[in-house]
């Protein structure tokens, strides 16, 4: 069937901010969709609230709306754009939910809009547990026994019937939010009441716990002619009971015979037909009993998913792109396979390598969070690695994670664990379980016992045992001098994925020495191609992975080339915004005529899409892996500025190994990162810095703090995302911190800065070519200094800074960029207190805010920076500063608190947010309101506000309370705050503290008698009253604010929304106004 | 421990190819020296079915998926009475299979049937070679092999088009299965995969296997409802007896065939067959069915194909392979006859085309 001519304009809905369960994979799928649809000549209107995405680049769609993803807002866009169709299957659960709501609101009917990809009925059948079960019954496919409950009582009686353990799954949520495994009545009560809250339809499914069964996923595609193909099978290393997003997964399935696999394939096809997903990709999960092969269908996603992104990267088959083309009427046989060009997309990819995905967790950021893994997803990112053996892929994936491991090595805590602790960690799944398996084997535990404790298939454990045993053999060999045996052992070790770092440690030499020895032996990495067809056809798309075998397929071209290092796995502090920058570098260098070589290992991203760069290497980002590619490609140089801290961390090592680093020099990077050298620079340039010092010991720290005066800001050097950064108010806390911090990074000292209380934080992104500097944007933070810049909301252009202060900031920025001889981007953070501008830090690299600034101003900073790094000059490119805007852009951070029970949702110097959103309007209040709405915080226009602030904030909150009163809100406060407000002429109703009996504030929250909570934390730690209030706010979805400055901004937002109406406008229109 | 870890506990093995390629690895299965055409199969599962598929007689089979043997061997998955490949080439053989159905390992299986294997070679490099230069003659040897001798023999051995292989793998006398079946079908056995028979048995068919050269007269004497020509190894043009018999049967009785059977029917209809560069072997081959407009994913294992241009006018191409547009299905316009190149019985591979057997039984009912 040819493409449809009856539709012209298509609305694509994105997935919003990066959150646990919904990450960069939807930027990848959405970008693919936009590209594919425009290629076919359709007008594409895109809505997504996330400015860090590639998809929201104004060039990706005809109209791009960076607006909150709520049904009401999308309805406004629909009204304005009147698209013919909506494609809701590429923006995760968010897009599907909005599509369903638009249907329920009658918007689709009113404007005659068709849902393409999946119809409402199909979405409902897949998402509604009861309907899904009925469908499965109809086609004779077994499902776990289950029933839906709308109350705790119902859940209890269902569980009595099917027996514990049971899995509780809320209907219509994201990434398993609110679900859990209950082994007894008490757990069931707790999980169910939470789950009911989380469900959009107040319903949970109570399900037979098929815990320990083998878990498989199939990625299925279907077209309008009812052709169905399976793109990829995925086997979960971690069996049923752990969310697939938190599981180590492997492609293709390893332990299924053809007989068993074909049953799953038949079922998958039957399911996609019965559910009625007309076109596109779906993900279907199965559990298979390890002892008798009984198969049950677990669930189906009637849309592309995280696993689809993984399957696309694992096979080379672009699921999202093909899904978009199928949605507009093409059939699979009409679409060519991009990789072979000559064969059609109507086939099933076959691969000749092993793919391992490992999730990346952020428990180090949330020490109080429960780190046991279960049915609720907790990971924040993932890596993928490809190898010709499972061991190789596994070890490559482990070193891609950047958790300090260079393969299957042990972290300190695992190393030290005794047998009992190992057993416990095997039985209760956690992020380090794979390491505990190694430890268990080292301690002599049998494969069988490990299997019994973990239910992990023996096949996988045997493979880990291969690694452990071979390492043991290598250690024995290390003392010997039989070169031939050593050489053969090194070859075998490399085939098993051992890194040079690991091997150097084993042989007791330095990495560089080992590398030299290895090369002398002629043991070199070769590169093989990912080609969808196991070499049956010639591949036209150069997508490679390294391995140790005979033939190298990555033949260097004669073109001038540049290598770009990506950012690795998403994590807190380093997310999709760096992928945005990397992709822009690629686009820009292509324009300049370079062949672009991308190196990255994050399967969710656009950068690892094989058609983003000219050549893609799916590899860990370590010195060894990068240099292997460098030596194979011999580029002009390598760009380390765009991938966040990941490439920067190895920049010096790369240079030492002979790589040419493009842009700002490694030495300049060092000046910026080395506190002493940086202070010297500031002194030289006469730029004030908060008083500071470096401590290598507790005593030194105490001395420095005494000299500077408390409070002080302390942090280890060389970290991103404010890891382990704290504000310390006294000596006792400092001693405690020093002991913990030194534990965090033993070779690195601790930095101590005077903490500027109540200062305004300002952040600048600028471009420099070594001669000229262009200010990209100046952002004023909403939250005061002390809140990590990644967690603070910010506004561009600044709203409260005087022109003198702004001039000073510009002046400092230019001086610093020139002094550091920056070629490319620099981000500088300032604190402004009493009109004095202090510089806090400078990062001569692309920052987290680059995409936000680029979208707000229309100046593509990353693209320009890449050109500068290749020798272009700002003057030559004709770049003009754009400091004045007609509109106002607000960035707000988005947090994972809802997914992490037990974590206090407060802001501090340690970054906790996973993503960001942007609100644009002509008025600060409206822009801020939009940003809050986009972040999931719908500020109330009326109702009751609960105020409870720490003593030092009382004075400051008066103004806020007064405004709220004027706006017609009722104010509720605990007696201390209420009394204080009364003294200042503000009537506040007193409500009991939790400790004062009942009904208290917690009851009011649960009963939804409170519409907004303003609660500033009193200090660090503990399950205080404040913690319980804030936690309840998160759990019950009540808007809450934890800083005074945030409260002020919120009041402005509420004022604005009461005064005006929300309207929507595309980025292209905003940008047009700027050029007029 | 050293030797076990370094060599996987195995002796050395080598593979010599007629273009002069010589690669070394480690042996598994039976020790020995085998010759044959080196072909690759891209299916990621189904090695048991492939190893026991008689169509691989005369060939050394190489799997492109690097990890083979993971789920062990279940005898129920056999497609014949034993291993039929001449030799087996894999990147890595699994020594500790894990699957509840597994009865033995691939190593044990090959030992039981006296077939040698080699692991630890760059199968992707070899596959690329075959893709570029076509399927090649090869020698696989274990233990104390002589490199020069192997290379010489790789060149000098007869090619697959010079070998009569069908007689090695077919029944030597008629065998009947499912006596009480409703429909009576004679299968001309050229090396049948048992799943074909199983599919017919499921549809209430009484199946009688007869040797490939069983005469047309004798077949007609048995008065069946239909005749079926099975898959099998080698060059169809060499199976002259069957072609002659088929010529006599066409038009007299409902007739269908799979793979080699399809090629033989083509030849009997007067068409020609040709050798594909490296064949189709895998479980992911897209077949377009012109009657329904649908695309099916099929399991395939063939090195020869029917030349579309040489087909008589009254024979229609019903299906083609979308990768290279070669003939996948034939149907006679006037007579009860059709055939397919791929393997609708799957095993290994997708079940998309089971309906072929329904169509066959339907044809039996009509005539």
For residues A372-382, average pLDDT: 92
Q: Is the pLDDT of residue A672 over 70?
A: yes
**Average pLDDT of chain B to the nearest whole number:** 95
| Residue B259: active-site member | yes
Q: Which helix (DSSP H) or strand (DSSP E) does residue A297 occupy?
A: strand A295-301
Q: Are strands A970-973 and A989-990 parallel, antiparallel or unpaired?
A: parallel
**Could you say which of A292, A333, A348 has the minimum Cβ distance to residue B284?**
A348
The reply to whether residue A344 touches residue B322, judged by beta carbons under 8 angstroms, is yes
Rounded CA gap, A891 and A848, in Å? 11
What does the pLDDT read at residue A722? 58
Spatial contact of A722 and A909, defined as CB atoms under 8 Å apart: yes
DSSP string, A92-116: HHHHHHHHHHHHHTTHHHHHTPEE-
Q: Using the predicted structure, report yes or no on whether residue A1011 has a pLDDT greater than 90.
A: yes
Contact B98 A229 (CB under 8 A): no
Q: In the predicted model, what is the mean pLDDT of residues A321-347?
A: 93
Neighboring chain B residues of A533 at a CB cutoff of 8 Å: 42, 284
Least confident range of A85-89, A156-160, A198-202, A810-814: A198-202
Task: Dump pLDDT digits (tens) for A870-899.
Answer: 999 999 999 999 989 999 999 999 999 988
Is A328's pLDDT higher than 80? Answer: yes
Domain ranges, ordered by start, for chain B: 12-157, 166-366
Q: Which residues of A touch B97 (CB under 8 A)?
A: 459
Neighbours of A1075 (CB within 10 A): 7
Q: Assess whether pLDDT exceeds 50 at residue B113.
A: yes
d(CA A615, CA A89): 29
Q: Closest-CA residue in chain B for A352?
A: B65
Q: What is the mean pLDDT of residues A340-348?
A: 92
CA A435, A440, A441, A446: dihedral to nearest 10 degrees?
-140
- Annotation says B302 is catalytic: no
Q: How many CB pairs under 8 A join A and B?
A: 179
CB contact residues (below 8 A), chain B span 249-278, against chain A: none
Residue-by-residue DSSP string for B168-212 = HHS-SS-EEE-TT-SEEEEEEESS--HHHHHHHHHTTEEEEEEET
Q: Name the residue of chain A whose CA is nearest to B63's CA.
A: A352
A chain contacts of residue B323, beta-carbon cutoff 8 Å? 342-344, 347, 537
* Range 8-67 of B in CB contact (< 8 A) with A: 23, 40, 42-46, 48-49, 64-67
The encoded tokens of residue A56 equal 């929201």
Residues 6+ apart with CB under 8 A from B185: B200, B205, B206, B207, B208, B224, B225, B226, B227, B228, B364
| Closest in B1, B66, B348 to A258, CB measured | B348
User: CA separation (Å) from A803 to A808, A922, A1049?
Assistant: 9, 20, 21
From B262's Cα to the closest Cα of chain A, the distance in A is: 23
Residue A534 backbone zone (phi > 0: left; psi -120 to 50: alpha; other: beta): left
pLDDT digit string, tens, across residues A138-186 = 999 999 998 889 999 999 999 999 989 898 988 876 444 667 889 899 9
Model confidence at A559: pLDDT above 90: yes
Contact B67 A354 (CB under 8 A): yes
The yes-or-no verdict on residue A200 having pLDDT over 80 is: no
Please tell me the distance in Å from A503's CA to the nearest CA on chain B: 16
B96 close to A (CB below 8 A): yes
**Partner-chain residue, chosen from B42, B98, B122, that has the shortest CB–CB distance to A255:** B98
pLDDT band at residue A586, thresholds of 50, 70 and 90? very high
- Residue B255 in contact with residue B219, Cβ under 8 Å? no
A346 closest CB neighbour out of B91, B286, B349: B286
Q: What is the mean pLDDT of residues A727-739?
A: 87
- B280 belongs to the catalytic site: no
The confidence score (pLDDT) of residue B6 equals 52
Contact between chains at B286 and A290 (C-beta distance less than 8 A): no
| Residue A202 pLDDT grade (very low, low, confident, very high; cuts 50, 70, 90) | confident
Q: What per-residue confidence (pLDDT) applies to B72?
A: 98
pLDDT digits (tens, 9 = 90+) for A808-862: 999 999 999 999 999 999 999 999 999 999 999 999 999 999 999 999 999 999 9
Q: What is the mean pLDDT of residues A275-282?
A: 92
CA dist., res. A644 & res. A669, Å (int): 12
Contact A229 B283 (CB under 8 A): no
A409-429 tens-digit pLDDT: 999 999 999 999 999 999 999
Distances A28 to A22, A246, A284, A795, A860 between C-alpha atoms, Å: 12, 20, 20, 27, 19
Q: What percent of chain A has pLDDT over 90?
A: 83
Contact yes or no for B197/B177 (Cβ under 8 A):
yes
Phi, psi of A330 (to 5 degrees): -65, 155
Mean pLDDT of A255-274: 97
Concatenated DSSP letters of A916-954: EEEEEESSHHHHHHHHHHHTT----SSSEEEEE--HHHH
pLDDT at B141: 98
pLDDT at residue A292 tops 60: yes
Three-state SS at A565: strand
Does A528 sit within 8 Å of B124, measured CB to CB? yes
Strand arrangement of the beta sheet that strand A726-728 belongs to: A692-695, A750-754, A712-716, A726-728
Q: What is the mean pLDDT of residues B85-102?
A: 97
Q: Which of B3, B25, B67 to mutate to test the interface with A (most CBs of A within 10 A)?
A: B67
Where helices occur in A556-599 by DSSP H, the ranges are: 576-591
Dihedral angle at the C-alpha atoms of A1025, A1027, A1028, A1034, nearest 10 degrees? Answer: 150
Q: What's the CA angle centered on B265, arms B264 and B270, to 5 degrees?
A: 95
Distance of alpha carbon A751 from alpha carbon A738, whole angstroms: 10
Rounded-to-integer distance, Cα A280 and Cα A83, Å: 20
- Cβ pair A918, A857 in contact under 8 A: no
Give the chain A residue whose CA is nearest to the CA of B129. Answer: A535
Q: Which two tokens stand for residue A421?
A: 């602790």
**Is A389 within 8 Å of B295 when comparing Cβ atoms?**
no
| pLDDT of residue A744 exceeding 60 | no
CB-CB under 8 Å, B122 with A549: yes
Cβ–Cβ below 8 Å for A227 and B48: no
- List of chain A residues whose C-beta atoms are within 8 Å of the C-beta of residue B74: 257, 259
* Beta carbons of B42 and A533 less than 8 Å apart: yes
Identify which has the larger pLDDT, B324 or A674: B324
- Whether B295 sits inside 8 A of A225 (CB atoms) is yes
B98 contacts on A by Cβ (under 8 Å): 255, 457-459, 462
Residues of A in contact with B322 (CB under 8 A): 333, 343-344, 346-347
Q: Cα separation of A119 and A356, whole Å?
A: 33
On whether the B12-157 domain is CATH 2.40.50.1020, my answer is no
Q: Encode burial over A557-579: b for 16+ CB neighbours within 10 A, e otherwise.
A: eeeebbbbbbbbbbbbbbbbbbb
> How close B130 comes to chain A (CA, Å)?
9
**Averaged pLDDT of chain A:** 93
- Euclidean distance between CA atoms B106 and B20, whole angstroms: 29
Tell me the chain A residues in contact with residue B294 when contact means C-beta distances shorter than 8 Å: 225-227
Structure ipTM: 0.97
Cβ count within 10 A of residue B155 = 14
Asked if A600 and A621 touch (Cβ cutoff 8 Å), the reply is: yes
Comparing C-alpha atoms, which of A864, A874, A382 is closest to residue A641? A864
Residue A127 has pLDDT above 90, yes or no: no
Give me the helix-helix angle, B240-249 and B260-268, nearest 10°: 60
Kindly report which listed range (A312-321, A1028-1037, B170-179, B354-363) carries the lowest average pLDDT score: A1028-1037
Residue tagged 């290497």 (tokens): A617
Cβ atoms of A55 and A48 closer than 8 Å: yes
- Is the Cβ of B285 closer than 8 Å to some Cβ of chain A? yes
| Confidence at residue A1076, expressed as pLDDT on a 0 to 100 scale | 65
A631: CB partners within 8 A, 6+ apart: none
With an 8 Å Cβ cutoff, are B65 and A260 in contact?
no
Contacts of A488 in chain B (CB under 8 A): 6
Strands A944-948, B255-258: pairing kind? unpaired
Instruction: Give A260's contacts in chain B (Cβ within 8 Å).
Output: 71, 99, 101
Class of domain B166-366: alpha beta
Cβ atoms A601, A620 nearer than 8 A:
yes
Shortest alpha-carbon distance between residue B338 and chain A (Å): 23
Q: What is the pLDDT of residue B3?
A: 42
Residue appearing with tokens 């073109």: A559
Share of residues in chain B with pLDDT > 70 (%): 97
Any chain A CB within 8 A of the CB of B322? yes
Which residues in chain A are contacts of B23 at CB distance < 8 A?
A: 550
The residues in B 338-357 lying below 8 A from A, measured between CB atoms, are 346-351
Cα separation of the two ends of chain A: 44
- pLDDT band (50, 70, 90) for residue A719: low
Output the pLDDT for position A136.
96
Residues 6 or more apart whose Cβ sits within 8 Å of residue A485: A477, B2, B6
Which residues of chain A are within 8 Å of residue B128 when distances are taken between CB atoms? 535, 551, 553
> Among residues A431, A436, A467, which one has the least CA distance to residue A453?
A436
Residue B66 has its nearest CB partner, among A333, A354, A492, at A354
Closest-CA residue in chain B for A333? Answer: B295
Which of A518-522, A698-702, A1031-1035 ranks highest by mean pLDDT? A518-522
Give the per-residue pLDDT at A458: 97
Best residue in A352, A394, A495 to probe B by mutation, most B CBs within 10 Å?
Answer: A352
Under DSSP, the state recorded for A859 is -
Task: Choose the closest CB to A351 out of B44, B71, B92.
Answer: B44
Whether residue A352 and residue B64 make contact (CB cut-off 8 A), yes or no, is yes
The residue of chain B with its CA nearest to that of A447 is B96
Instruction: State whether the Cα torsion A113-A114-A115-A121 is positive or negative.
Output: positive
Please identify which of the residues B259, B262, B280, B328 carries the catalytic annotation.
B259
Cβ-defined contact of B65 to A351 (cutoff 8 Å): yes
Residues of A in contact with B89 (CB under 8 A): none
């Amino acid at each position: 069937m040819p493409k449809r001519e009856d539709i012209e304009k298509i609305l694509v809905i994105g997935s919003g901010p990066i959150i646990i369960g919904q990450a960069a994979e939807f930027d990848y799928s959405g970008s693919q969709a936009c590209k594919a649809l425009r290629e076919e000549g359709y007008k594409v209107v895109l809505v997504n609230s996330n400015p860090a995405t590639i998809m929201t680049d104004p060039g990706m769609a005809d109209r791009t709306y960076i607006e909150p993803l709520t049904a009401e807002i999308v309805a406004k866009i629909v009204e304005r754009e009147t698209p013919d169709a909506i494609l809701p299957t590429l923006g995760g659960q968010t897009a599907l939910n909005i599509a369903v709501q638009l249907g329920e609101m009658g918007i689709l009917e009113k404007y005659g809009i068709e849902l393409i990809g999946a119809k409402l009925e199909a979405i409902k059948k897949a998402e509604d547990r009861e309907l899904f079960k009925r469908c499965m019954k109809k086609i004779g496919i077994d499902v776990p026994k289950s029933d839906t409950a709308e109350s705790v009582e119902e859940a209890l009686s269902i569980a009595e019937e099917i027996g514990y353990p049971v899995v509780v799954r809320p209907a219509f949520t994201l990434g398993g939010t609110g679900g859990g495994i209950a082994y007894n009545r008490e757990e069931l009560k707790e999980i169910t009441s939470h789950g009911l809250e989380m469900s959009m339809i107040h319903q949970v499914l109570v399900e037979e716990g098929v815990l320990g069964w083998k878990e498989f996923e199939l990625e299925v595609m279907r077209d309008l002619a009812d052709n169905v193909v399976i793109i990829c099978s995925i086997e979960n290393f971690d069996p049923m009971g752990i969310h697939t997003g938190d599981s180590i997964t492997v492609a293709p399935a390893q332990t299924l015979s053809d007989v068993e696999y074909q049953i799953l394939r038949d079922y998958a096809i039957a399911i996609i037909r019965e559910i009625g997903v007309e076109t596109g990709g779906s993900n279907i999960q199965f559990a298979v009993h390890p002892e008798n092969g009984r198969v049950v269908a677990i669930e189906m996603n009637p849309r592309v998913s995280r696993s689809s992104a993984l399957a696309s990267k694992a096979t080379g088959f672009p699921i999202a792109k093909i899904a978009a083309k199928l949605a507009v009427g093409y059939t699979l046989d009409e679409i060519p396979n991009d990789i072979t060009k000559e064969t059609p997309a109507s086939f099933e990819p076959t691969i000749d390598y092993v793919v391992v995905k490992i999730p990346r967790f952020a428990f180090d950021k949330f020490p109080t969070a429960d780190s046991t893994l279960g049915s609720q997803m907790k990971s924040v990112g993932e890596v993928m690695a490809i190898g010709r053996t499972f061991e190789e892929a596994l070890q490559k994936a482990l070193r891609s994670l950047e958790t300090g491991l260079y393969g299957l090595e042990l972290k300190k805590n695992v190393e030290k664990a005794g047998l009992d602790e190992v057993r416990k960690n095997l039985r209760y799944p956690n992020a380090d379980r794979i390491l505990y398996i190694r430890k268990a084997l080292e301690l002599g535990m049998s494969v069988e016992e490990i299997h019994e404790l973990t239910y992990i298939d023996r096949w996988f454990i045997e493979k880990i045992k291969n690694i452990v045993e071979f390492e043991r053999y290598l250690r024995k060999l290390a003392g010997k001098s039989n070169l031939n045996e050593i050489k053969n052992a090194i070859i075998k070790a490399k085939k098993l994925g051992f890194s040079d770092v690991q091997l150097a440690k084993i042989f007791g030499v330095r990495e560089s020495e080992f590398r030299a020895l290895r090369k002398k032996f002629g043991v070199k990495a070769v590169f093989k191609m990912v080609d969808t067809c196991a070499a049956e056809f010639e591949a036209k798309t150069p997508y490679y992975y390294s391995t140790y075998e005979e033939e190298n397929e990555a033949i260097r071209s004669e073109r001038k080339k540049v290598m770009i290092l990506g950012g690795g796995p998403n994590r807190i502090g380093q997310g999709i915004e760096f992928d945005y920058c990397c992709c822009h570098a690629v686009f820009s260098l292509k324009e300049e005529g370079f062949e672009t070589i991308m190196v990255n290992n994050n399967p969710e991203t656009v950068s690892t899409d094989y058609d983003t760069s000219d050549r893609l290497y799916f590899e860990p980002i370590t010195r060894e892996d990068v240099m292997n590619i460098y030596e194979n490609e011999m580029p002009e140089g390598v760009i380390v500025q765009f991938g966040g801290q990941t490439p920067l961390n190895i920049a010096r090592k790369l240079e030492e190994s002979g790589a040419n680093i493009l842009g700002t020099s490694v030495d300049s990077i060092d000046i910026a990162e080395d506190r002493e050298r940086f202070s010297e620079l500031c002194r030289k340039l006469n730029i004030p810095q908060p008083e500071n010092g470096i401590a290598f010991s507790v005593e030194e720290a105490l001395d420095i703090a005494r000299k500077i005066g408390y409070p002080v800001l302390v942090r280890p050097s060389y970290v991103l995302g404010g890891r382990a950064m704290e504000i310390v108010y006294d000596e006792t806390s400092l001693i405690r911190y020093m002991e913990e911090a030194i534990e965090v990074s033993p070779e690195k000292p601790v930095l101590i800065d005077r903490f500027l209380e109540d200062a305004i934080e300002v952040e600048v992104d600028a471009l420099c070519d070594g001669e000229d500097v262009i200010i990209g944007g100046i952002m004023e933070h909403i939250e005061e200094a002390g809140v990590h810049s990644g967690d603070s909301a910010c506004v561009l252009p600044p709203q409260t800074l005087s022109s003198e202060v702004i001039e000073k900031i510009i002046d400092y920025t230019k001086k610093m960029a020139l002094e550091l001889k920056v070629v490319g981007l620099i981000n500088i953070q300032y604190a402004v207190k009493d009109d004095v501008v202090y510089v806090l830090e400078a990062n001569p690299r692309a920052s987290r805010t680059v995409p936000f600034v680029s979208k707000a101003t229309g100046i593509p900073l990353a693209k320009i920076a890449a050109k500068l790094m290749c020798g272009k000059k700002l003057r030559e490119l004709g770049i003009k500063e754009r400091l004045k805007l007609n509109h106002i852009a607000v960035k707000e951070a988005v947090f994972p608190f809802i997914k992490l029970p037990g974590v206090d949702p407060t802001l501090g110097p340690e970054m906790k947010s996973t993503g960001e959103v942007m609100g644009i309007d002509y008025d600060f209040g409206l822009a801020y309101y939009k940003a809050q709405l986009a972040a999931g915080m719908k500020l109330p226009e009326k109702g009751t506000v609960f105020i409870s602030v720490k003593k030092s904030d009382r004075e400051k909150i008066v103004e806020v309370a007064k405004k709220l009163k004027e706006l017609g809100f009722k104010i509720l406060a605990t007696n201390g705050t209420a009394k204080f407000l009364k003294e200042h002429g503000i009537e506040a109703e007193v409500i009991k503290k939790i400790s004062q009996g009942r009904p208290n504030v917690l009851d009011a929250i649960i009963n939804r008698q409170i519409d907004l909570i303003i609660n500033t934390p009193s200090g660090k730690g503990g399950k205080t009253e404040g913690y319980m209030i804030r936690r309840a706010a998160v759990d019950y979805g009540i808007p809450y604010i934890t800083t005074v400055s945030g409260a002020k901004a919120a009041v402005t937002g509420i004022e604005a929304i009461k005064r005006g109406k929300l309207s929507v406008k595309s980025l292209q229109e905003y940008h047009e106004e700027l050029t007029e | 421990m050293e030797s076990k870890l370094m060599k996987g506990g195995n002796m050395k093995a080598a593979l010599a190819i007629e273009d002069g390629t010589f690669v070394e690895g480690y042996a598994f299965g039976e020790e020995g020296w085998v010759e044959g055409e080196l072909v690759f199969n891209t299916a990621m599962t189904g090695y048991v079915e492939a190893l026991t598929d008689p169509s691989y007689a005369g060939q050394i089979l190489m799997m492109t998926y690097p990890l083979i043997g993971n789920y062990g061997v279940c005898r129920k998955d056999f497609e014949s009475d034993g291993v039929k490949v001449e030799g087996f080439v894999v990147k890595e053989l699994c020594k500790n299979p894990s699957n509840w159905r597994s009865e033995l390992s691939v190593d044990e299986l090959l030992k039981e049937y006296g077939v040698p294997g080699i692991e630890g070679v760059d199968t992707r490099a070899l596959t690329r070679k075959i893709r570029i230069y076509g399927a090649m003659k090869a020698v696989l040897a274990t233990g104390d092999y002589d490199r020069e001798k192997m290379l010489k023999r790789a060149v000098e051995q007869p090619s697959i088009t010079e070998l009569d292989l069908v007689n090695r793998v077919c029944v030597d006398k008629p065998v009947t299965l499912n006596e009480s079946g409703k429909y009576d079908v004679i299968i001309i056995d050229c090396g049948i995969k048992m799943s074909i028979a199983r599919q017919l048995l499921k549809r209430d068919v009484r199946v009688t296997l007869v040797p490939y050269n069983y005469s047309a007269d004798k077949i007609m004497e048995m008065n069946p409802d239909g005749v079926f020509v099975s898959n099998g190894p080698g060059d169809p043009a060499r199976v002259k007896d069957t072609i002659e018999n088929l010529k006599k049967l066409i038009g007299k009785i409902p007739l269908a065939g799979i793979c080699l059977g399809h090629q033989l029917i083509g030849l009997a209809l007067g068409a020609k067959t040709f050798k594909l560069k490296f064949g189709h072997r895998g479980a992911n081959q897209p077949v377009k069915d012109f009657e329904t407009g649908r695309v099916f994913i099929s399991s395939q294992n063939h090195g020869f194909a029917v030349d579309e241009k040489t087909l008589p006018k009254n024979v229609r191409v019903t299906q083609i392979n979308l990768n290279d547009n070669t003939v996948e299905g034939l149907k006679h316009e006037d007579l009860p006859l059709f055939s397919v190149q791929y393997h609708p019985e799957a095993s290994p591979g997708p079940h998309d085309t089971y309906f072929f057997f329904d169509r066959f039984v339907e044809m039996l009912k009509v005539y």
